[in-house]
Amino acid sequence: MDDLIADFVAECREMLEALGGEIVAWEAQPDDRARLDSIFRFVHTVKGNCGFFEFPRLEALSHAAEDALADVRAGRRHADAALVSAVLAIIDRIGEMVASIEAGEEMPAGDDSALIHALAPGAESASAPAAPAAADAATKPSVAPRTIRLSVELLDRVMSTVSDMVLARNELARRLRESATDVPVDGAFERLSSIIAEMRDAITRTRMQRIENLFVGLPRMVRDLSAELGKQVLVDIDGGDVELDREMIEMIRDPLTHIIRNAVDHGIEKPGERLQAGKREIGVLSVSARQSGNQILIDIHDDGRGIDGKKLVEKAIANGVLTKEDAAQLAQREQLALIFEAGLSTATQVTAISGRGVGMDVVRSNVERIGGIVEVDSRLGEGTRMTLRVPLTLTIIPALTVSIAGQHFAIPRSAIEEIVRSNGESVTLEHVGGAGIATIRGRRVPEVSLALILGLQSTVSEQDRTLIVLRPAGGDVYALAVDRIHDHEELVVKPAAPAVMATGLYAGTTLADDGSPILLMDPSGIAQVGGVRLEVQERSARIVEDPASIASKATPVLLFRGLDGGRRALRLAVVDRIEEVPTSNVRETAGQLRVQVGDAILPLAGAVASDLGGEKVRLFRLNDGQFEIGYAFTEVIDFAMIERDVIHAERAGEVNGVSLINGEPAELVDAHWLFSTNVGVAARSAEQLVCRIPCWDPWMQNMLRPLVEAAGYRVIDDAEEEEADVVIASVGEDSPEDSTDRTIWLRTEPEAAGRNDESIYRYDRAGLLMALKSVAVGRGR
Could you list the residues that contact other proteins (CB under 8 A)? 164, 167-168, 170-171, 407, 453-456, 494-500, 502-503, 505-506, 509-511, 515-519, 529
Count of other CB atoms within 10 angstroms of residue 595: 26
Between residues 519 and 674, which has the closer beta carbon with respect to other proteins? Answer: 519
Least gap, CB of 169 to other proteins (angstroms): 9
Cα angle, residue 659 at apex, residues 653 and 665 outer, rounded to 5°: 100
Between residues 251 and 519, which has the closer beta carbon with respect to other proteins? Answer: 519
Between residues 163 and 335, which has the closer beta carbon with respect to other proteins? Answer: 163
459 secondary structure, DSSP code: -
Count of other CB atoms within 10 angstroms of residue 692: 26
* CB-CB contact of 467 with 528 (8 Å): no
Between residues 338 and 454, which has the closer beta carbon with respect to other proteins? Answer: 454
Between residues 408 and 714, which has the closer beta carbon with respect to other proteins? Answer: 408
Between residues 503 and 552, which has the closer beta carbon with respect to other proteins? Answer: 503
* Rounded Cα gap, residues 256 and 103, in angstroms: 35
**761 pairs with which residues across the strands?**
747
Least gap, CB of 189 to other proteins (angstroms): 16
- Residues near 292 by beta carbon (within 8 Å), at least 6 away in sequence: none
Least gap, CB of 449 to other proteins (angstroms): 12
Between residues 131 and 500, which has the closer beta carbon with respect to other proteins? Answer: 500
- Residues near 296 by beta carbon (within 8 Å), at least 6 away in sequence: 211, 242, 244, 248, 289, 290, 389, 390, 391, 392
Q: What are phi and psi of 562, to 5 degrees?
A: -75, 175
Least gap, CB of 458 to other proteins (angstroms): 12
Between residues 100 and 407, which has the closer beta carbon with respect to other proteins? Answer: 407
Least gap, CB of 535 to other proteins (angstroms): 23
Orientation angle between helical segments 33-53 and 2-28, nearest 10 degrees: 160
Between residues 406 and 778, which has the closer beta carbon with respect to other proteins? Answer: 406
Between residues 510 and 678, which has the closer beta carbon with respect to other proteins? Answer: 510
Strand stretches in 248-404, DSSP E: 283-292, 295-302, 373-379, 383-391, 396-404
* Rounded Cα gap, residues 3 and 23, in angstroms: 29
Count of other CB atoms within 10 angstroms of residue 29: 13
* Rounded Cα gap, residues 17 and 557, in angstroms: 70
Least gap, CB of 161 to other proteins (angstroms): 11
For the chain, the residue count is 781
* Rounded Cα gap, residues 46 and 58, in angstroms: 8
Least gap, CB of 447 to other proteins (angstroms): 19
Q: Hey, CA dihedral for 21, 25, 30, 36, is it positive or negative? A: negative
Query: What phi-psi label fits residue 75: left (phi over 0), alpha (psi between -120 and 50 degrees) or beta?
Result: left
Least gap, CB of 279 to other proteins (angstroms): 55
Least gap, CB of 199 to other proteins (angstroms): 16
* CB-CB contact of 376 with 337 (8 Å): yes
Between residues 219 and 515, which has the closer beta carbon with respect to other proteins? Answer: 515
Least gap, CB of 119 to other proteins (angstroms): 51
Between residues 165 and 373, which has the closer beta carbon with respect to other proteins? Answer: 165
Least gap, CB of 110 to other proteins (angstroms): 54
Query: What phi-psi label fits residue 611: left (phi over 0), alpha (psi between -120 and 50 degrees) or beta?
Result: alpha
* CB-CB contact of 317 with 335 (8 Å): no
Q: Which of 626, 657, 661 is nearest to 643 (CA)?
A: 661
Least gap, CB of 465 to other proteins (angstroms): 17
Q: Which of 493, 492, 408, 489 is nearest to 454 (CA)?
A: 408
* CB-CB contact of 280 with 312 (8 Å): no
